[in-house]
Structures are given as structure tokens and as C-alpha cells.
Structure 1
Amino acid sequence: MPELPDLQAFSVNLQKRLHKKKVKDVNLVLSKKSNATEAALKKALDKQPLTEVFRDGKELSFRFGKDTILRLHMMLRGKLYVVDKDEEPKYTILEVIFDDDTKLVLTDFQKAATITLNPEPSEVPDAMSDEVDAAFLKAVLGKKKTNIKNILLDQHNLKGIGNAYADEILWDAKISPFSIGNKIPDAAIKRLAKSIKSVLKHAEKQILKKEPDIISGEVRDFLDIHNSKKSHSPTGGKIISTTINSRVTYYTEEQELFE
């Protein structure tokens, strides 16, 4: 599944490729995962220019005109393509056709990707927002008796962090993924706040460096810990693989356990 840095890279490239293009037509191939009908999408987007592409948590948002938002969640296997009018990617769910006959196509062979027209605002902050600082994390963690990895993955706490980057962040902060939220001391919480921002920013830069035009898929080979091809961390710790709530988790004994 694409995670926050992947989606941030996608948004950068989609903005470059589609900015100011006007919508000519919309084809909703699979309606059950959309909150709006094809007719409603056509009406809302018709002749509207694409003014902004941005990421919010694990979703991509496309702003048309001043205030029409189309939000896409690619779930586990969804992909985006920008193609010529005659190209037909397999497993298409949605096509947005622009006035130059290029198409933005959302596909998903699992048929799980979702489409939301004008979504309701969320009160949960994005992991990269200024709101997610040490004070915010202390308030969240102080109420939690579960392990820190599950807390980071819970999109009701903060949005955007997925399995791979939770491992990278916790290693960087030197906190064991098994640590209990309300047992983590202030000094470690400050490291965690710093690591969230630095790890995710670094990852976006690495993704765009390795795949400058990326708009789908994942780039993971640069990861330090969540990487099946690596046996040791950059500082020499042996990487251990286990499962937490059915998710593969990578960590080292360099990370302190708080319980």
C-alpha cells in the first residue's frame, strides 16, 4: 500500500502533469465505492480546471476550480495512470478526461479503492502537520495502554503513517514497537515527534530521487529497517522480524522498551 511519502511524491508529479487542465468528461466504471453517482461527478467537475493536487493522510485530493474536491483512496492495490485517450488500463474504476484528451485513471483489481466527492473535513491531524508535535503526542500517548506501533498506525490518532514507516520512525526514535503508549517518557516522545517529520521528509526526497516521475507504486529499497534485504541497521543492530496484529514488523534491540 502506498504510504505518506509515496502519496506526497505522487501529488507533486500529478500537480505538474495536470495543473490547469479542464475536465471534459468523467466515466465512473465502478460506482459502489463512490459516494457520488457518475451524473453527480460529471455535473460537479464539468469544465472545471484542476487547480491543486494535495495529500491528506493516506488519500490524494484533487481540487477543481475553487472549492470542488475529488478525494481518492487507493487502498492496498489501487494505482493511478495519466494516459492518452485511446489507452485503457486494466481494472479501471474511474476516468477523468481532460480537454486535451489525456485521462487520469484510477484502477484496482481488488475493487477496493474509494472515490469521495467533497469529503467532510477531518479533525484528525496529518502526521506532517505542525499540530503533530511533542505536546500533541504526549496527550495522545498518555491515554493509551496499547503498544506504540499500533497507536501510530491508528488513523484516528494521526493520519498518514503506515506499516513500513512506523518501523522506520520507531527505529530512528530508538523506541521499541512493543512500548506501551502511556509508559513512554517525555524525552522519548520528543525524539518520536522529531523522527516522524524527519523520516517522512527524507523518504519523500529519496522516492523522487529514485523515481522522479512516479505517480503509482512504492519505492522501498532505501529503507533502513523495514527491509527484508537488510540484516543489520545502519548502526549495526541485528534486524529482527516479527508480527504485530498480523503486520510484519522490523526492529532491533537498539530500541528501548518502555512498559
Structure 2
Amino acid sequence: MPEMPEVETVRKTLAALTLNKKIKHVTVWYPNIIDGDSHDFAQKVKGKTILKIDRYAKFLLIRLSDNYTIVSHLRMEGKYHLVKNSTPKDKHDHVEFSFSDGTSLRYNDVRKFGRMQLVITGTERKVTGLSKLGPEALSREFSSDYFIKALKKKKKNIKNTLLDQTVVSGLGNIYVDECLWQAKIHPESLAEKIPALSVKLLHEAINQTIAEAIKFGGTTVHSFLNAAGKTGLYQEHLKVYGHAGQACPRCGEKLKKIKVNGRGTTFCPSCQKEYK
């Protein structure tokens, strides 16, 4: 699933390709992608101009004229790509925004898990999935003091806590493993038992890792491509994710992979301390 760095990379490339383009027509080939009535969605979006592309955590916010916003979640394998109107439809293209300049923005999703919802701009934090999210990494709201207090209220393991998006949003499996390794915290540690100093180190690791991953255009492990069709480069800098059985870059111990709440999790059994 694209995480915050990947979605931020999509936002940047998508903005470069679509800003100020007028939507002449909308085609929805797979209505389940749309939250709500797909025909109503297409009619309301028709004639609008793309003014800006924003992002919150893993959600894209496509700002349209007349005070509308498309809230888009890519889920596992959703992608946007710009083509000429005459380009034949790919079998995994599910929504098309045809522009007045002869190009089209198409949403492609092999698994069909992605979703789009049209809302009035400014209401997205109230009427969409964004309402359940905690502050995102790198934001002012995500302070170390906030993080310490939030983890003290969580009785589950730290891996699951970071993945549930209510304490901090934007992290997925890849970056949680990387951040926990950076902070020397075992993924099965109870969140409420982690001492404040270690929580501060984890806070720093989250912000540092996310910022660096954004700089390198995100991580391509399976199928991630940005809106310009290019892969990310951060996979070349991963320390633990995808390296199970290899030597820990810090202590040399063999990295181990286990399941934590059903999620594959790679860590160092020697230098990542478990707090219970």
C-alpha cells in the first residue's frame, strides 16, 4: 500500500500534470470505486477545473473549482496516469477524467480497492475517512509531547499502534519497521511501557525517515509508480524491510521476520529492546 511518502510523491507529480485543466467529461467504468452515486459524481465533477492537489496522510485531496474536493485513497495498488484521449483503455483503468486540452487522467487499480469521494471543500475532515486520523508525521501537531501522552494510553503493541493511523497517520508496514529499527524498539513492545526517552527517539525516527523517503520519491517494492510513471528510490536505503536473514546494519546480528497482528515484520532481535 502506498504510504505517506509515496502519496506525497504522487501529489507532486499529479499537480505538475493536471493543474488548471478543465474536466470536459467523466467516465466511471467501475462504479464501486466511487463512494456514493457514481452518476452524480460524474455530473458534479464535469466542467470543473483542477485548482490544486493537496494531501493528508495517505489521502489525496484534488481541489476543484466551485468549492468541490475529490478525496482519493489509492489503497493497495491505485495509480493515476495522464494519457491522450484517444489512448485505448487499459483493462485496469476504472475512472477517466477527460480534459478540454485532449488529454485524460485515468485511475488504474488492479485490485479495485481504491476509493474516491466528492465532498464540499473544507468538510473532508468531518465526512470522510480523514475524520478518524491522528496528526500526520512531520506536522506541528505531531509533537514529541503529544506522542508520549498518546502512547501512554495504548495497551497494544507498538507495531499495531503505529499502523492504526489514530495516533500518527501516514505510516504503513515499510516505514514502521524502519522507524522501530532506527529507535531500537522491538515491534512487540507494549506502547504504554515504552519510556519517554525512547518515545522521543521514535518520534525523531518517524519524522526523519518520512522526510528522507519523500526526498527520494518514495519506496517501490512491488508496483508503486508516481503519476509520471516513475518508480521511487528509497528502497535502496531501507535498513530492515525486505532484508530478513541478512546482517543488521548496526550490530551484525541476523535480522528476523515474524508476524505481528498478521503483518510481516522485520527487526533485529539483538539491538531492538522489547518493553513489556
Q: One fold, TM greater than 0.5?
A: yes
Shift of 1:153: 0.0
Aligned partner of 1:239 among 255, 264, 274: 255
Letter in 1 for 2:12: V
Range with greater deviation from structure 2 (30-39 or 51-60)? 30-39
Separation in 2 of the partners of 1:52 and 1:91?
26
Q: Counterpart in 2 of 1:106? A: 107
Q: Counterpart in 2 of 1:12? A: 12
Q: Counterpart in 2 of 1:61? A: 61
Provide Cα deviations, 1:40-94, integer angstroms capped at 9, x if missing partner: 2233323322111122122212111263111111211222211111222222221
Aligned partner of 1:120 among 121, 124, 141: 124
Q: Counterpart in 2 of 1:140? A: 150
User: 2:256–2:266: 8 Å Cα contact kept in structure 1?
Assistant: yes
Letter in 2 for 1:46: K
Separation in 2 of the partners of 1:153 and 1:209?
17
Separation in 1 of the partners of 2:10 and 2:49?
19
Separation in 1 of the partners of 2:76 and 2:2?
7
Q: Counterpart in 2 of 1:200? A: 210
| Change beyond 3 A, Cα 1:83–1:165 | same
Letter in 2 for 1:81: H
Separation in 2 of the partners of 1:120 and 1:155?
16
Separation in 1 of the partners of 2:30 and 2:112?
8
User: 1:2–1:218: 8 Å Cα contact kept in structure 2?
Assistant: no
User: 1:34–1:114: 8 Å Cα contact kept in structure 2?
Assistant: yes
Letter in 1 for 2:260: I
User: 2:71–2:124: 8 Å Cα contact kept in structure 1?
Assistant: no
Separation in 2 of the partners of 1:100 and 1:136?
47
1:28 and 2:50 correspond: no
1:83 and 2:83 correspond: yes
Structure 1, unaligned stretches of length 5 or more? none
- Taking structure 2 as the reference length, the TM-score comes to 0.85
2:101 is paired with a residue whose SS is coil
Q: Counterpart in 2 of 1:168? A: 178
1:174 is paired with a residue whose SS is coil
- Taking structure 1 as the reference length, the TM-score comes to 0.90
Shift of 1:123: 5.7
Shift of 1:236: 3.6
Aligned partner of 2:198 among 188, 194, 218: 188
Shift of 1:233: 3.2
Separation in 1 of the partners of 2:249 and 2:86?
47
Shift of 1:37: 2.8
User: 1:95–1:103: 8 Å Cα contact kept in structure 2?
Assistant: yes
Separation in 2 of the partners of 1:222 and 1:101?
39
Aligned residue-pair number: 257
Letter in 2 for 1:40: D
Aligned partner of 1:227 among 239, 242, 251: 242
1:249 is paired with a residue whose SS is strand
Separation in 2 of the partners of 1:90 and 1:81?
14
1:250 and 2:250 correspond: no
User: 2:59–2:71: 8 Å Cα contact kept in structure 1?
Assistant: yes
